[in-house]
Chain A
Amino acid sequence: MTYHQQTVVVETADQLLQPKTRRSFLRLLATGGTAVLLPGMFAACDDDDGGPAGLGGGTGSTVTLDFSDANDVGGLNYAYALEQLEAAFYAQVVARSGAVLTADEASIMADIRNHEAIHAAFFRQVLGAGAIGALDMSRTFTSIDFASRTAVLTAARDFEDTGVAAYNGAAQYLKQGANALTAAKIVSVEARHAAVIRDMLDPSATAQASASFAPRAFDDALDVPVIVARVDDYIVQRLEAANKPEPVQIITPPDA
């Protein structure tokens, strides 16, 4: 028996809702053909865990963050990785989202882009030869619709809240007091970003609602694996913590 090996390209989940694509896809499943799922498809399929999504995340070479280093190279590289991600994201926002932002909002995004780029450059310089390489984010923002104000602000909110929780959770691993202070100098700026982005997203959020600029009296402090799981879909390389101590009992007090 002979049949033509078929290839169907599915770019987004929405295409499966279109009769033509769906028919092709189903026929192909019946005949053992090849389905090519483009990034948007993964994005649509991958949001069941509430996390970010994109093709190729965490599948590349392993980038090890060694937390045993006396000079905090692992912890600083962890921050460097997150700042690289944020800087790359806001560079996209500034380049691609101007049309859906007001002038004030675009100005805020440009400021934040600057801050994140400066943070990344700062860590690169501090780390010198110990710095991890430039992470590959080239394919990984495909899940974000930069032409949608809501999508951009939602992604920005998640990046900022994640950054705050990451610094809060990892400061305990820094052996040098000066590095802990540096982390604190940066995390409050990330928290300022988070508040403003949240207010842009929902200016009428009621007090302390989950959409509020400050949803809780105590911000999260999340451990490295939790943060890595949140961001790894955006980074082609795979971040991996090594020699990280057990976290201290992190407080998540009740909300007021």
Chain B
Amino acid sequence: MDGSRFVKILVCMKQVPQKDAPLKLNDAGTWIREGVSYEVNEPDAFALEEALRQKEKHSGEVVVLTAGPARAMQVLREALAKGADRAIHLEDDAFVGLDAYNTARAVAAAIKEEKFDLIFTGLQSDDYGYAQTGVILAQILGLPHATIIMQIEKRNENEQDGGGIRVKRELEAGFFQFVDMPLPAVLTIQSGINKLRYATLIGIKQAKTKPLRKVTLAEVQGSMGENLQKIEKLYIPQKSKNTEFLEGSPAEVAKKLVEKLKNELRVI
């Protein structure tokens, strides 16, 4: 992206329960109860940060999008405060219960008038953990994709494919791989790709005047279908291990633990 070229990046973000929020099952035993504290899905925060850095490097526009209830607006507000240019909120309680395929279809419908160079999602969500929405979105949009990305660099426009990007894909066991890709493309971003910035006071103020487009369920429902997966039951996992909890003062616990390490586990 040389100085005259403008890069448009969409960052799909999700609001999830806070990591240490105490969660309770709903009466039907099919989901958790509302009314916990929420935060941005961690990999999505890294995806946003990466988009902002690319924009700062190459000049462009960062659009953030979320699909969720009214409370999910908070994620967009924080993103705008950090430097995103505009936001899209697919707002409806029903978005919480959609499978990844439907979520991706809804997103694709909401952005069909736009042309993004890059679309980022976090590699997976901290609540469902399916790791699919970004890849499904790429398939629906007919775009190339790569997952678990740790680095993104622009390639020269003089290259054979008209230039595009070189991404660093994370593999298991400490391995990596560079992949050259054309644009536009969808990337799912891994946590730790960069260091997250804080929103500044000026940023928070400016966020209030940035464009926010609301999209209703009705507007995108035509592109969706029935969920192809159903949570029959959500429950607390049955413990397969007999965990022994050691109690007492720190000094007492230390003694008990060492006794276990020595006599039961035989590692001392």
Q: Do A and B come from one complex?
A: no
A contact set with B: CB distance below 8 Å = none
